[in-house]
A and B are shown apart, each in its own frame.
Chain A
């Protein structure tokens, strides 16, 4: 029910945006994320972008996973 999927914004038009959902284009509302820019990834839930994905944080999380994996190899 609270499912939201990351999709890429390819065009912005007022309170709406076109996004790419795994190769399929769809128009969604950006009323809840007015700060969105072309090229951003957003979390899409029931036709609304509910958040802009923080790419820097996304990268840091992956790096953290790698670091934990490496640390445990040393133990």
Chain B
């Protein structure tokens, strides 16, 4: 397929890895922020191609993994209301909350439907006028404008039975939060590709300026990631951290202005609760007052039991980059993709799932 296979050439990949070994003199610790990158790095065995003094850590860039238990509990409570249809991306369906998950709620009779797009949820609303259709809005900046566009259409078409349970989150504030925790000393960050397609480079300028850490935005194929590592290593060796784009076919410096404008119109920023990290100011999106009629948070009252965290699960530490799945006592033993205990094993792009599927090292 065009714009995919060309960026997977194994021969060129080997050459790029040799180039990295050639230019890299100092130890370097890099974090790939995005779960999609974690999967590509594991699946393509990229760590094994790199010299051992280049360390790769996984970050908090998996929207399912960072959704707090309290928010999942609320989703399940919404699903149990009468005359409600929950629509959600498939990733969310098995994620355990404090006591249950959406899949279990469905088995117990709740009407929960997996959709590919928020537009599908509007269609379902049109076909089920007597019911309230709630879309679970999870995702980062990549997904936020698509949900904004859907909400705009819902408003224009005056759809009365469509709601969004908005749990959208923003990447730059959480990158800052992870850096401020100071638990991991990073030399470079592999920046999220499709988040940056929307945001452009401006929101990341603080990273080299305030933290002296380079930030290179990467595509998702093996050559894209190797090229990104090569650019970061060059910055590290010259001690010139900067924001740069290795994924120029998919990311423009200004991002997608139309998408940003739409997000601005439909959402306001608010603080958000991130699993493993806690409350991060201005890192979440809520519906702007003009769209309040579609807000499931205010339209439905639900009672939720006090939040309970799963014993032994270290997803929080894994999300912050201070532990790897191999350090979790549950990993592979009781926590598997068939019986996931924590969200990092549920989502296909969670670190635990990627390590389970592709990992054969101890790293």
Contacts and interface: CB of A to CB of B under 8 A. Distances in A.
Interface of A: 1-6, 8, 22, 29, 31-34, 41, 43, 45-48, 50-51, 53-55, 57-58, 60-62, 64-66, 68-69, 71-73, 75
B119 A54 contact: no
A58 B195 CA distance: 18
- The listed residue with most B CB atoms (<10 A of its CB), out of A8, A33, A46, is A46
B149 A1 contact: no
Contact of A72 (B18, B246, B250): B18
Given A1-B140, A2-B143, A60-B248, A45 B194 contact: yes
Interface string B146-162: 10010011000000000
Given A29-B119, A48-B146, A22 B194 contact: no
Nearest to A43: B250
A4 B142 contact: yes
B118 interface: yes
Is the contact region of chain A dominated by helix, strand, or loop, or is it mixed?
mixed
B249 A54 contact: yes
Contacts of B7: 61-62
B3 A1 contact: no
27 contacts: A1-B36, A1-B62, A1-B138, A2-B193, A3-B220, A5-B4, A6-B4, A22-B1, A29-B119, A31-B149, A32-B146, A33-B258, A46-B89, A47-B116, A47-B120, A48-B117, A48-B145, A50-B145, A51-B197, A54-B252, A58-B248, A61-B246, A65-B15, A65-B16, A65-B227, A68-B230, A72-B19
Interface string B1-13: 1111011010010
Contact of B256 (A32, A54, A60, A72): A32
A36 B138 CA distance: 27
A65 B249 contact: no
A34 to B, nearest CB: 7
Contacts of A4: 142, 194, 197, 250
Given A1-B89, A46-B89, A51 B250 contact: yes
Given A1-B143, A54-B248, A32 B262 contact: yes
Interface residues of B, number: 59
Contacts of B78: none
B50 interface: no
A6 B143 CA distance: 16
Nearest to A16: B119
Contacts of A73: 15
B91 interface: yes
- The listed residue with most A CB atoms (<10 A of its CB), out of B19, B34, B138, is B19
A62 B246 CA distance: 11
Contacts of B96: none
Contacts of A58: 3, 248-249
Given A54-B248, A57-B248, A46 B116 contact: yes
